[in-house]
Structure formats: C-alpha cells, structure tokens
Amino acid sequence: MAADPRFTALWSEEELIPYPREAWLEGGFTPEMLPDGDEIPLDVAVVFTAFLEGDIELYDTIQLTTEDGSLDIRLIVVGAVADNNDLLYVLDPRTGEILQCDLEQPDVQPVNSNFRTFVEFLYQFAVFVEADEGKPGRAERAEQLRMVLESIDPAAFTPDGWWPLVISQLK
C-alpha cells in the first residue's frame, strides 16, 4: 500500500515515514483504526514529530505501571510533541486510542479516539499551517479548523483534551 495521495501532495517522500500497518492489522487493529496508506508525516509544525531523542524510539513499546498495580498497560510510541520530546504520543493497543504521555511528570491524557483520526488531525493541522498568512483572520480560521476536527473525532474535544488546548493557542 502506498501513502495517502493527500499526504504526497502536502509532503515530499522524504517527509513521510512508514508505520507498521500490516503488523498492527495482524495484531488485532481494524482497518478503521488505522490511517489510509502506510505512511505518516515525519513532522507537523509545533504539534508532532517522529524524530525522537533519547532512549525511546518510534514504535517502541513502553510499560506504564503504578506501585499499587491499579494501572499496568503497554503502549506503542507513535511520536512526540515537536518542541517537547518528553510529551509522547502513544497508542493503546487495548482500545486503539491515542494518548499523550508526559515522561517528566507521569501523566496521561486523551488525544484521539484512534490512530486514523490522530493522523487526520495532523493532516488538517498541516493544511491550516500551510495556508496561514499571519495573525489577521487566524482566530476565525482556527474556529473553522476546530469545527472540522470536532466533526472527525468529537471525543478529542473533551475540556481537558490536547486538541482544545492547541486550538486555543491558535486563537
């Protein structure tokens, strides 16, 4: 399978990276949970990077546990916030959700319902950034972006979620 044609229109071949689509499908993910195509962007201004620093690499598995054993889950690293490699995006294989895991102060917050909607949000955000002409009109365009994103994945817009914070920063 090739990259999503919309991605190749926005990013060059060098700006895309494969993800283990076939392995994840074999591991129990459904096609509806995964992006079309077999590549994702390497970098999306401010919100995402696949360039990780330190000991954790892209698609590594990390284990989150609590001392009392109330939490013990395995998560797949799918990227990080562009300016903060301690804020990882992780995929929960049990639910398919994308979460944000803060390595500095152990905290996990919801980001998207699944990897497909997460990558679609990255695409929509990149289109927004590409078309940005500066502060005049940005707040209105950010509100339009919010409406588009919320129509794609309403669950991503819980009050304590990541995307509402991103949109508020744009405004």
Q: In the chain, what are the domain boundaries?
A: 5-170
* Residue that wins the pLDDT comparison between 73 and 50: 50
78 has pLDDT over 80: yes
Residue 117, CA atoms < 13 Å, CB-side half-sphere: 20
Q: Report helix, strand or coil for 111.
A: strand
76 has pLDDT over 70: yes
- Per-residue pLDDT tens for 46-58? 999 999 988 999 9
pTM above 0.75, yes or no: yes
pLDDT bucket at 1, cuts 50 / 70 / 90:
low
Separation between Cα atoms, residue 164 and residue 153, nearest integer Å: 12
pLDDT recorded at residue 107: 81
List of residues 6+ apart from 28 with CB closer than 8 A: 93
90 has pLDDT over 70: yes
